[in-house]
Structure 1
Amino acid sequence: MLNLILRKVAASVVLLVVVSATTFMLMFIDGAAIARQVLGLGATNDQVAAKVVELGLDRPVLEQYFQWLGGVVNGSLGTSYFSGEQITNMMATRIPVTLSLVVISLFFTMILSTLIGVLAAVKGGWVDRSLQIVSVGGAAVPNFVVAIALVLMLAITVPIFPATGYVAPDVDTAAWAMSLVLPVAAILVGSTASAAQQFRGAMIDVLSQDYIRTLRTRGIDERYIVFRHALRNASGPGLTILSLQTIGLMGGVVVIERVFAMPGMGLLASNAALQGDIPAVMGCVLFSVIVVVVVNISVDLLNGWANPKARIS
């Protein structure tokens, strides 16, 4: 297990370098254009040239990237081109918002998709067909459409939940939970639908195996067979698709945070990308890669615990 963790950490470091370098190269188009964006259209050429030197945009791109990478190693992500604020300070208030959405959404996705997938595989018939129709429909509808529909139904027409905004849990725990209900529900519709289909297919394959038929002939309780033997062996594909969904989830959070006006990393990333604020964008990329890496390593550990063959592979 330790070797597995070390291999995953080493691969994650390589992934971080590749993704961050690619993002940095794509973001850096023209130092003068970035400086003019910071100063405004009324800035003179001399002011733009001075700003380029001040921000260090006159140096080679690779040199700038390695300086940023060195800052990351030392715990510094630089300062915003526009506000002059430390990127770490900008992210400190926004990370809890996004983590609340991501962690809660992943948790409920895992629980709901497992239950739905197992139910569809075990019951079959009209139950299976109904769940498949609902799952396909949920996966086909964009999450921002679901979010708008939820706001119209449960925040405007019937004012049960707040339509926008975010309340920190240390301010008011109940208000924090209420502010997350609609955003998390909008994310769950699509993520649960995809993962449930994967769990269903894996469960059907496992339940058709010879050892399952042998256990049934011995008179072992069906629920014990399903949850103790079949689900454990079928968990690998389901957990894998859940880890892959994390990448899409990080992109979906950007849209959800805009719809619900939540001051999270998604909103910061979209605003920074539109402005050309490279340090802020790189901070958001670093956060996203770390979240994806942590989730993938956690899923691999769960797979190793549930299926010893996964540890060997």
Structure 2
Amino acid sequence: MRRSSAASSSPPARSSRSPSAGHPPNRHPGSRSSRSTAPRYPARSTQHASRITGCAGRRPLPAHPPSTITNLKGAHVALYILRRVGITVLMVFLVVSAAFFLVALMPNDVTQTILGPDATPEARAQLRDEMGFNDPILMRYLAFLGGLLTGDLGVSYLSQQSVTMQVLERLPVTLTLSMGGILLTTVLGIVLGILAASRGGWLDTIIRGAAGVMQAIPSFWLAVLLVLVFAVNLKMFPASGWEPFTEDPAEFLRRITLPLISIGIAGTAAVARQARVAMLDVQGRDFMQTLRATGLPEWRIVWLHGLRNAAIPVLTVIGLQFVALFGSAVLIEQVFALPGVGKLVVDSVNLGDMPIVLGVVVALSVVILVMNLVIDILYGIINPKARLA
């Protein structure tokens, strides 16, 4: 009885085989402890995993510091600008060459204008030989290029004055008129286009209708109408003449107001219509809705973020209008009697003074191509994708 009670009260004896002896406990495969502690699949080495993924020995690439990224962007921009400058220089050479051959091959006999209608054929032939008209055209072309590299555009047939000096005296008037016109076109056109796209309704209808009417009005007809109304009848502005800004700023503004309106109305309409279309396209994009959801003011969303994304097509129209303004300047300078290169080239064509005509063509071509270069550079700054073109 004592043995049985002692046996029943004492705990069961442990096995003499301990885990330290090299035998794991609960070796039975069906036990819970074996399922919870032992791995289900055999472990694989790191080399085996690298062999499967193909990434053996690879390390993550180091991130470029911000200074390196900035230098790369600056190098891309500089390369883009250099490429555009090279294209512009090539275009200037081609345009100047084409202008020279067109002027040289024109059937023009200036000797009759210089000597008069009573000159003998022998005198006219001698003068033609002295002026180099009998030289081969290739030799005349090389001489013209040599003078162009030194800034010498030749001598006028009639006045015997330097063509370069005459063009430089008249060019500031035309540049002032053209730059003022493009400034008026850009500012007023963008403002009207954005207002039409943002407000909509009756304001959009009025701006679109006015833009269509303004774009259909010829600049010279509008110039004559403005002279009749504001100069002849109302006596508010002078009808003709020019006053430099450095001598009398107030009189300069009075005399340039009507020419600026005449030359900039059609361009303003074109820029306004393009700005409206571009802004409507931008307003439907997701990032504009995201900016509105952040609580930014509407004016900041439209005039900063929206205008920047809509600037590419607007810049294209502005560049085209700048070229068109030089063509309109010839007529506007005739109407208002402005001493610009437009009036100079018209008088030279009537008198047969071809060096003046060629000098004006070269000067205007360089100005237009430089303006196109500026617009191309702005393309690359605003839209980095344009640098790949």
Shorter-chain TM-score category? Answer: over 0.9
Residue by residue, what CA displacement relative to the aligned partner does 1:90-132 show, whole Å, maximum 9, x if unpaired?
1222111111101111112111111011011111122112111
Report if aligned partners of 2:108, 2:352 keep a CA contact under 8 Å in 1.
Answer: no
Report if aligned partners of 1:202, 1:237 keep a CA contact under 8 Å in 2.
Answer: yes
Report if aligned partners of 1:32, 1:52 keep a CA contact under 8 Å in 2.
Answer: no
Amino acid at match of 1:53: D
Task: Look up the match of 1:197.
Answer: 273
Higher helix content, 1 or 2 = 1
Question: Which of 154, 160, 163 is the aligned partner of 1:87?
Answer: 163
Task: Look up the match of 2:99.
Answer: 23
Report if aligned partners of 1:34, 1:276 keep a CA contact under 8 Å in 2.
Answer: yes
Task: Look up the match of 1:250.
Answer: 326
Q: Distance in 2 between matches of 1:161 and 1:289?
A: 32
- Going from structure 1 to structure 2, the CA distance change for 1:301 and 1:29 (only over 3 Å counts) comes to closer
Larger Rg: 2
Residue by residue, what CA displacement relative to the aligned partner does 1:241-282 show, whole Å, maximum 9, x if unpaired?
111112111111000000000010111112222333221111
Q: Distance in 2 between matches of 1:281 and 1:242?
A: 27
Q: Is 1:297 the equivalent of 2:373?
A: yes
Residue by residue, what CA displacement relative to the aligned partner does 1:30-86 show, whole Å, maximum 9, x if unpaired?
677232233332221111111111211111223212211110101211100111110
Could you say what secondary structure the match of 2:158 adopts? coil
Report if aligned partners of 1:232, 1:307 keep a CA contact under 8 Å in 2.
Answer: no
Question: Which of 225, 246, 256 is the aligned partner of 1:170?
Answer: 246
Report if aligned partners of 1:144, 1:255 keep a CA contact under 8 Å in 2.
Answer: yes
Amino acid at match of 1:119: L
**Correspondence 1:155-304 to 2 at 5 A:** 155-304=231-380
Q: Distance in 2 between matches of 1:88 and 1:233?
A: 42
Could you say what secondary structure the match of 2:240 adopts? coil
- Going from structure 1 to structure 2, the CA distance change for 1:222 and 1:170 (only over 3 Å counts) comes to closer
Task: Look up the match of 1:4.
Answer: 80
Task: Look up the match of 1:37.
Answer: 113
Task: Look up the match of 2:40.
Answer: none
Aligned length: 313
Residue by residue, what CA displacement relative to the aligned partner does 1:130-181 show, whole Å, maximum 9, x if unpaired?
1111111111110001111111111111111110010122322221221111
Identity within the alignment, %: 37
Q: Distance in 2 between matches of 1:265 and 1:273?
A: 12
Which structure carries more relative contact order (alpha carbon 8 Å, separation 6+)? 1
Could you say what secondary structure the match of 1:93 adopts? helix
Q: Distance in 1 between matches of 2:293 and 2:248?
A: 55
Amino acid at match of 2:284: S
Q: Distance in 2 between matches of 1:146 and 1:75?
A: 38
Amino acid at match of 2:114: V
Q: Distance in 2 between matches of 1:42 and 1:185?
A: 47
Q: Distance in 2 between matches of 1:310 and 1:286?
A: 29
Report if aligned partners of 1:31, 1:57 keep a CA contact under 8 Å in 2.
Answer: no
Q: Distance in 1 between matches of 2:356 and 2:178?
A: 20
Amino acid at match of 2:277: G
Q: Distance in 1 between matches of 2:342 and 2:181?
A: 15
Report if aligned partners of 1:146, 1:186 keep a CA contact under 8 Å in 2.
Answer: yes
Q: Distance in 1 between matches of 2:366 and 2:350?
A: 23
- Going from structure 1 to structure 2, the CA distance change for 1:31 and 1:133 (only over 3 Å counts) comes to closer
Question: C-alpha displacement at 1:306, in angstroms?
Answer: 2.8
Q: Distance in 2 between matches of 1:121 and 1:62?
A: 56
Q: Is 1:121 the equivalent of 2:197?
A: yes
Could you say what secondary structure the match of 1:94 adopts? helix
Report if aligned partners of 2:92, 2:369 keep a CA contact under 8 Å in 1.
Answer: no
Report if aligned partners of 2:220, 2:262 keep a CA contact under 8 Å in 1.
Answer: yes
Output the aligned Cα RMSD: 1.6
Task: Look up the match of 2:30.
Answer: none
Amino acid at match of 1:210: D
Amino acid at match of 1:217: A
Amino acid at match of 1:102: S
Amino acid at match of 2:297: D
Task: Look up the match of 1:152.
Answer: 228
**Which stretch has the larger CA shift, 211-220 or 94-103?**
211-220
Amino acid at match of 1:175: E
Scaled by the length of structure 1, what TM-score is found?
0.95
Q: Distance in 2 between matches of 1:201 and 1:30?
A: 45
Question: C-alpha displacement at 1:13, in angstroms?
Answer: 1.8
Q: Distance in 2 between matches of 1:123 and 1:40?
A: 66
Q: Distance in 1 between matches of 2:104 and 2:117?
A: 19
